[in-house]
Structure 1
Amino acid sequence: MQKTGKMQTDNCLQLPKYAIIVAGGKGLRMGGEIPKQFRPISGHPVLMHTLEAFYRYDPEIRIILVLPEEHQNYWNDLCLQYRFTLKHRVVTGGPTRFHSVKNGLDTLPDNGLVAVHDGVRPLVSEKVIDNAFEEAKRSGAVIPVIEVTDSLRELTSDGKSKSVPRNLYRSVQTPQVFKTALLKEAYNQPFCDCFTDDASVVEATGKEVKLIKGNAENIKITTPKDLLLAEMLLSHV
């Protein structure tokens, strides 16, 4: 998408932008042998739609795609098959998401802003990406969230449960965007099972993470039902 006016001028003044797309899942909940990030929807594999979302936002963004080594030849074959030529760099993932993100970060300079995004979230909006980068430029660390609409219950230590006020909770999405130096410093700490996303890694260093509004369509594809929903949503984009 061509940028014009103020947004185009602002982009010229911004720090270099990077996006680390993490696609290490084997898709066990999806069933079958093809990992979910490679499943076709609306004419292309999920992962290609995800990369395209970031290029629509900014054709100059530098994308690092983190893949398991055993998936890389298959990805190269898909790029040939679908004539997918968007520029990106492939980096080998690690044993966990933490290590995969760290491997991607190790390829980047300290100066800049970096988004970390799930490869199976192809429906992130350009507005959310832009708002996340703009807030990260100001505050250093930002994540998109959406309000919880279902009622919630907390499991208690006595094997029971209790109702909790859902207005106090938010569902977290990606991309999570940070000043690159800040995120690299956070990922220098030892791995912990308590790290559920990049924000939790950053918060473990004592840094505050800002919240912005996400987009409800930005679902994470993990089941066949999600795949059908994403197909329907993409057909209306």
Structure 2
Amino acid sequence: MFYWFLKFIALGPMLKLVFRPKSEGVENVPSSGPAILASNHLSYADWLFMPLVIPRMVRFVAKAEYFTSPGIKGWLQKTFFSGTGNIPIDRSGADAASGALLSAKRVLGEGELFGIYPEGTRSHDGRLYRGKTGIARLALETGVPVIPTAVVGTDVVAPPGKKFGRITRPTVRFGKPLDFSRYAGMENDRFILRSITDEIMYEIMRLSGQEYVDMYATRAKDESKKSDAAKGAERKPAA
């Protein structure tokens, strides 16, 4: 109930009034039954605007700290994230990926929509990075369609490293469902998993118009930080 209260009464109408988000291809999202919404990830605001433009609830996984922090702030976080359909997942352990996969399979098994960011983290520079193959395994093990999704403009609303940016009209585009039933039973073939993931990322790239980089986003972030640190050291005057 809290989810629908926020979406249709408390938060959704305000977001629509202020930002006037646009949507394309909403008819590609099934009106009932399970599906995976695979999206690019430009901003923490993505998970607000993507579900806002469709009538159904979208479930995501969220880091466990949002559900376990102490105090009033922790209680408010837990109430908000639980109420908005998020599922806690410990991303620090070695089995984080398998935990996320189990949570996603449970959501899809209940006939719901599951939202996922194949890049694994937000893009730090607006480019689209290589997808992780967990989404391919999820699609094959559940047999549900994958809806490639692109959110554009949220990095202006909430740029990386900042809580707020400036007002613009975000656009959410939903592509045609991708069916990978031809690969049924091949979820342990890493070449098939990579092929499926690359096909999904290509469709996201086509919808978003982003430049694609064949590198994982986490590695790109690390290299960017090292490069910035090196440049800072070069500019630092000698003692």
Q: Under TM normalisation by the shorter chain, which class is it? A: 0.3 to 0.5
TM-score, normalised via structure 1 length? 0.38
Larger strand proportion of the pair: 1
Larger helix proportion of the pair: 2
